[in-house]
Chains A and B, each alone.
Chain A
Amino acid sequence: MELQTQSPDQCERFTQGEIDAFEELFRQHQNEVYRWLLRVVRNRAAAEDLTIEVFWRIYRARARFDPTRSFGAWARRIASNAAMDYLKRTPAEVPLLEDCGSSLEMETAARREMHDVIEQVFRQLPAKLQLTARLALIEELPYREIAEALGISEGAVKLRVFRATRILRKKLKQAGIEP
């Protein structure tokens, strides 16, 4: 997520509760936060709702923000926590396949079925592992960036990816898929 810079004065006014300052920061960072959330939740409407939720949490915690630090990095940390909460409460749902006749449609249907199985297996991962694995394996973000966003060490990121990989391989094998 690209981090925009903000002036210390702007952040100072924000921590003191000035709504204008909050609006400025909101407008500067809403798209970054949205893009970050979209990468994880993969749903536009949910990402929009979560963007509002993230900035609401930011607004409530404004007095605790250190204006000398990066607002963007703080926002991304809060966004990651909000995304994790979303993954915890949202069950993995897979769309049903439609019946089809021709071999070409069956090939597409078979591919679609594999996609659905893989998606469902992925979403069955515990929220922490799912979030980390999504950012590392699908979005291919550097481990350092993921570590900063989640507030954990790079070693912890590697461990989560390792655990997620192990679970994914096991579950895919149970579903008859061996990469």
Chain B
Amino acid sequence: MRDEKDQRLYALLKQHLSPVRGDLDDDLWPRMLERINEHSIQRVSWLDWALLGLVMLLLAVAPNVIPILLYQL
């Protein structure tokens, strides 16, 4: 009895919520690459800021290093 009720319910669901089918129209790789590159750019900028911070800290702690750095540059 319960199975029969369930089957009627399932039939109703399938009647009104038919399966959706379809294939991709376009290749999504360009969008994927864009997402990867966006993340890479964000990572580099944080790294840059961190490196800059370290250099500033070094110069503040040991200012006598400045002439040596300038010579190297």
Instruction: Check if A and B associate.
Output: yes
Q: Which residues of A contact B (CB under 8 A)?
A: 19, 23, 26-27, 30-31, 34-35, 38-39, 42, 44, 48, 51-52, 55-56, 59, 114-115, 118-119, 122, 137-140, 165, 168-169, 172, 177, 179
Interface residues on B, range: 20 to 34
Question: 3 tightest A-B contacts by CB?
Answer: A179-B8, A179-B12, A115-B16
User: Cβ of B5 and Cβ of A169 under 8 Å apart?
Assistant: yes
User: Cβ of A52 and Cβ of B32 under 8 Å apart?
Assistant: yes
B27 contacts across to A, CB distance below 8 A = 27, 30
A122 contacts across to B, CB distance below 8 A = 13, 17
B14 contacts across to A, CB distance below 8 A = 137-138, 140
User: Cβ of A169 and Cβ of B9 under 8 Å apart?
Assistant: yes
Interface pairs (20), CB distance under 8 Å:
A30-B27, A31-B23, A35-B22, A44-B22, A48-B24, A51-B24, A52-B28, A52-B32, A52-B35, A55-B32, A115-B17, A122-B13, A138-B13, A138-B17, A139-B19, A140-B19, A168-B13, A172-B12, A179-B5, A179-B12
